[in-house]
């Protein structure tokens, strides 16, 4: 049996500039942080002559082309390991909640397939192959952040060239700043889950059409991300929190799908209850609210009163890895 473990992520700055519709013309920049919430992929040989797949659905099919799950189907086309296979996916956090689950799933699946074939693969090649499946083959309106942070882990900066090349560098923060972030960042589930494709497709369509408001908004997001990098590398977490707040307020104006009345109310209540800054993680319209706060007790009480459950986390520095290898 092979079991891979791949981290989910929170975006610290620049999210949205990693889509081809933006970086192909302007270049992108994203800071992402892998967290200790994971997707696990297990591959096991069976005595049957088919493919037995267990994720949020069950599939038992005779041929790869009959697989309904698009990522599994395309990954097995690229890595034909043969029949008599059981493939199981288990996640700490449900899909569609803004933590990069689709990219993590793709990276984790590829990591397990390479291990099953006893082949070595670098983190960069793993990330780029995952991008190829999601962006090029499946033509999903997604960016490159999720696949790269899932493969590399850590707190990492991704500079994306117009030709799609990704330059990967660690965020150069002190241990003291790392502890500060882990102690003072809180994440709360809004109880809304959604596929990001609809929100991101609007961004892609407007960006490709040269919509001035959309492009200007993404320019702001990139500059905000670069300012976030500078703030965190000098240990200025108060400015980091302010930049998160500026990012969210600007992003919320980008699309009517970005938020809703309940999320806005919860965000405003958090800011009045000890949060110094925050945002909705992911493409928008649901998932997790992420805050930086000094008065954690007040913030947690306010969010609990709104019925939001907290998911605590620390950072993951391993990236996609193998837990079991036959």
**192 and 146 fall within a common domain:** no
CATH number, domain of 274, equals 3.30.70.890
Containing domain of residue 205, as a range?
Answer: 175-310
Select from 124, 149, 172 the last residue of a domain.
Answer: 172
Residue 323 lies in a domain: no
Q: Are residues 155 and 182 in the same domain?
A: no
Separation of CA 136 from chain center: 18
For the chain, the domain total comes to: 2
Per-residue pLDDT, 203 = 63
Which pLDDT band holds residue 279 (cuts at 50, 70, 90)?
very high
| pLDDT higher at 35 or 256 | 35
Whether residue 163 is found in the same domain as residue 241 = no
Are 238 and 275 in a shared domain? yes
Does 108 reside within a domain?
Answer: yes
Cβ-contact 311, 303 below 8 angstroms: no
| Angstrom distances, CA of residue 236 to CA of 148, 167, 180, 186 | 26, 25, 10, 18
Residues 157 and 216 in one domain: no
pLDDT at residue 213, as a whole number? 82
Judge if 103 and 185 occupy the same domain.
no
**Whether 239 and 303 share a structural domain:** yes
Those residues with Cβ within 8 angstroms of residue 261's Cβ, 6 or more apart along the chain or in another chain: none
pLDDT over 80 (residue 318): yes
How confident is the model at residue 202, as a pLDDT? 65
Residue 128 shares a structural domain with residue 253 = no
What is the rounded average pLDDT of the residues 265-279? Answer: 95
Q: Residue 101: is its pLDDT beyond 90?
A: yes
- Asked whether residue 319 is domain-assigned, the answer is no
Q: Are residues 115 and 23 in the same domain?
A: yes
Whether residues 54 and 6 fall in one domain:
yes
Per residue in 16-27, pLDDT (tens digit) is 899 999 999 999
Phi-psi map region of 103: left, alpha, beta (phi>0 left; psi -120 to 50 alpha):
alpha
| Integer Cα distance of 295 and 190 in angstroms | 20
pLDDT of the residue at 258: 75
Do 210 and 155 belong together in one domain?
no
The answer on pLDDT for 198 being more than 80 is no
Average pLDDT over residues 96-108: 94
- φ and ψ at 243, to 5 degrees? -65, -35
Mean pLDDT of all residues belonging to the chain = 92
% of the chain beyond a pLDDT of 70: 93
Crossing angle of helices 237-252 and 175-184, in 10° steps, is 50
> Is residue 224 a part of any domain in this protein?
yes
Q: Are 244 and 279 in contact (CB under 8 A)?
A: yes
Any domain includes 40? yes
Please list, in sequence order, all residues whose beta carbon lies within 8 angstroms of the beta carbon of residue 123, skipping any fewer than 6 positions away: 151, 152, 319, 320
For residue 318, tell me if it sits in a domain: no
Give the count of beta carbons closer than 10 Å to the beta carbon of residue 291: 25
Q: Is the pLDDT of residue 15 over 70?
A: yes
Residues 6+ apart with CB under 8 A from 61: 50, 51, 53, 67
Cα 155 from chain centre: 13
Structural domain contains residue 211: yes
Report the pLDDT averaged over residues 221-246.
Answer: 97
* pLDDT, position 287: 86
């Amino acid at each position: 049996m092979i079991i891979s473990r791949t981290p989910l992520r929170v975006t610290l700055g620049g999210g949205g500039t990693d889509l081809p519709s933006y970086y192909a013309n302007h270049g992108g920049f994203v800071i992402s942080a892998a967290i200790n919430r994971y997707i696990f992929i297990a591959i096991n040989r069976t005595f049957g002559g088919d493919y037995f797949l267990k994720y949020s659905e069950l599939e038992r099919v005779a041929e790869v082309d009959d697989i309904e799950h698009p990522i599994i189907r395309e990954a097995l086309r690229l890595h034909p390991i043969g029949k008599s296979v059981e493939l199981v996916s288990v996640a700490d956090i449900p899909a569609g909640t803004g933590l990069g689950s689709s990219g993590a799933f793709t990276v984790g699946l590829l990591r397990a397939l390479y291990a099953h074939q006893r082949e070595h693969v670098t983190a960069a090649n793993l990330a780029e192959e995952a991008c190829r499946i999601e962006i090029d083959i499946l033509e999903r309106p997604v960016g490159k952040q999720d696949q790269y942070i899932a493969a590399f882990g850590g707190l990492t900066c991704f500079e994306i060239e117009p030709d799609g090349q990704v330059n990967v560098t660690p965020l150069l923060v002190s241990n003291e700043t790392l502890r500060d972030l882990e102690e003072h960042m809180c994440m709360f589930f809004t109880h809304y889950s959604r596929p990001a494709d609809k929100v991101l497709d609007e961004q892609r369509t407007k960006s490709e059409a040269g919509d001035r408001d959309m492009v200007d908004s993404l320019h702001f997001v990139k500059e905000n991300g670069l300012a976030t990098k500078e703030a965190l590398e000098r240990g200025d977490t108060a400015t980091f929190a302010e930049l998160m707040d500026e990012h969210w307020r600007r992003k919320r104006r980008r699309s009517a799908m970005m938020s809703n009345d309940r999320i806005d109310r919860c965000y405003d209540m958090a800011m009045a209850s000890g949060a110094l800054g925050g945002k909705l993680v992911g493409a928008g319209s649901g998932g997790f609210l992420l805050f930086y706060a000094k008065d954690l007790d007040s913030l947690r009480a306010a969010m609990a009163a709104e019925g939001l459950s907290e998911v605590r986390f620390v950072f993951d520095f391993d990236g996609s890895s193998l837990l079991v290898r036959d």
